[in-house]
Structure formats: structure tokens, C-alpha cells
């Protein structure tokens, strides 16, 4: 955007002019001149004119296409990993082992009840303190996969529970093993039932991917600048930097 002519609003001009009249200067109500002369009016008097540069997106289409490619790649990888995580966690929440159900429940509740930006912050800045370091794109992808996996776990679990027990008992009576019952009877029908909320999660991953890339890029840049500034302001014998 191009900003043209920053003048005081008309309301401020009227107030100043009225104050001048009360002092006996004889200035016009909308005049800012102390001598009382009337300045020439311009098209931008009383506000700010904004002109949008419509050609900027077309001139930078290569950068926009590159960003679109990164967004789609991160979103696809994050969603595939999230669906696998959600399926495993959903089955764990239906397990007959109490400790497995507890671990899955804690994972779902913690990830669903904390902001996604906080999870990105922990992955990108917290894990390096224990020796685990990833680049910005990898950290954002992992954080999105973990966050979306918690939501998909509940969606998949609800889809599995929507299948009537009669179909499971009928499949078992035909001699199918539990894994065959899940693969051929339960999961295909559950997948059809959960299709709408799963598509909604795909859209949410696309939205969060853009937010993640912007946040990680800004925080990574600012942290690097602050680290460099700290090394220059507070040099140590191991890092003898020149002070500012």
C-alpha cells in the first residue's frame, strides 16, 4: 500500500480553530495557521488516502508460488503423520490395558487443551535444551502433526464407536479374526462416517500451516538477532566478541 498525505483529521482542525477563536486570533474554524490565513485545500485534507498496488502480487508471483508449495508440502506431511498418530491413539484409548488408555488420554487432553503456538514453541525452543534440534520447517511439521493427531484420535474413536456391536458379532461369528473384523468391517464404515470432520481437520491444518511458518520464521529470526546482540554486549573468554 502507498500512503499519501498524512494530515490531521478534520475534527482535530476544528478543535484547534475554535481554540484560536476563543483567544481572539480570528482564525477560521478549520485553519491551523496561527496568522488566521486559510491554507489551500488538498484532496487528502481531513484523512489519509491509501492506494493499493494491485500489480505487486503479479510481480512477485514466483515468491507466492514458492510459499504455496511449502505450505502444501508441510500440510500434506503433517496430516499424513497426524492421521497415523490419531489412529494409533484411538485404538489405544479402546485398549483393555488401563495404562495404555491412560497414556493415550493424557496425550489427547494435553494436546487439545493447550494452544498450538505453545506446542510449536516447545518443539522449536524447548527440545534443543535436551539435545533434540530440528530446523524450523521440521519443527513446525512435527508440532502440527502432534496437535492434529490429538483431534483426529477423538474423531476416529467416535467413528469406531458408531459401528453397531451386531456387525462386529456377525463378523466374528463368520470366523474373522479381530484384526480382520477391524480392517474389513469396522474401519471402512467408520471412515465413511468420519469423512466430514476429517476434511475439516485438513482445512485447519492448511490454516495453521501458514500461521506456523510465519511464527517460526519471525521467532527464529528474532532469537538469532537477540543471541548475536547478547554475544556482542556480554562477551565471554570463550567467545571474545567486540562490544558495540
Round to whole Å and give the CA distance between 161 and 194: 11
74-78, 144-148, 240-244: the lowest-pLDDT one: 240-244
CATH number of 73-227: 1.10.3720.10
Return residue ranges of the chain for CATH 1.10.3720.10: 73-227
How confident is the model at residue 57, as a pLDDT? 80
Question: How far apart, in Å, are the Cα atoms of 40 and each of 11, 21, 27, 44, 102?
Answer: 18, 20, 14, 11, 76
Residue-wise pLDDT tens digits, 7-60: 444 444 433 344 444 444 444 444 444 444 555 555 555 556 777 778 888 888
Q: Which residue has the higher pLDDT, 43 or 173?
A: 173
Q: Which helix (H) or strand (E) holds 4?
A: strand 2-4
Q: How many CB atoms lie within 10 A of CB 108?
A: 22
> How buried is residue 132: exposed, middle or buried, by Cβ count under 10 Å (0-12/13-18/19+)?
exposed
- pLDDT bracket for residue 244 (50, 70, 90): very low
Amino acid at each position: 500500500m502507498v500512503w499519501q498525505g498524512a494530515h490531521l483529521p478534520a475534527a482535530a482542525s476544528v478543535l484547534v480553530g475554535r481554540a484560536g477563536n476563543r483567544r481572539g486570533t480570528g482564525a477560521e474554524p478549520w485553519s491551523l495557521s496561527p496568522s488566521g490565513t486559510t491554507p489551500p485545500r488538498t484532496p487528502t485534507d481531513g484523512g489519509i488516502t491509501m492506494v493499493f498496488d494491485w500489480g505487486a502480487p503479479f510481480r512477485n508471483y514466483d515468491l507466492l508460488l514458492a510459499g504455496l508449495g511449502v505450505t502444501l508440502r508441510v500440510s500434506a506431511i503433517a496430516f499424513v503423520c497426524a492421521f497415523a498418530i490419531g489412529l494409533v491413539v484411538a485404538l489405544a484409548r479402546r485398549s483393555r490395558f488401563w495404562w495404555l488408555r491412560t497414556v493415550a488420554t493424557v496425550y489427547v487432553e494435553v494436546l487439545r487443551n493447550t494452544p498450538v503456538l505453545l506446542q510449536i514453541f516447545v518443539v522449536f525452543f524447548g527440545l534443543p535444551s535436551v539435545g533434540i534440534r530440528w530446523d524450523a520447517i521440521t519443527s513446525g511439521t512435527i508440532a502440527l502433526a502432534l496437535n492434529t493427531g490429538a483431534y483426529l484420535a477423538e474423531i476416529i474413536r467416535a467413528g469406531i464407536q458408531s459401528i453397531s456391536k451386531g456387525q462386529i458379532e456377525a463378523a466374528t461369528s463368520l470366523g474373522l479374526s479381530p484384526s480382520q473384523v477391524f480392517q474389513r468391517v469396522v474401519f471402512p464404515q467408520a471412515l465413511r462416517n468420519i469423512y466430514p470432520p476429517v476434511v475439516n481437520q485438513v482445512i485447519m491444518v492448511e490454516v495453521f500451516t501458514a500461521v506456523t511458518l510465519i511464527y517460526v520464521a519471525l521467532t527464529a529470526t528474532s532469537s538469532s538477532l537477540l543471541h548475536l546482540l547478547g554475544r556482542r554486549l556480554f562477551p565471554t573468554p570463550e567467545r571474545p566478541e567486540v562490544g558495540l
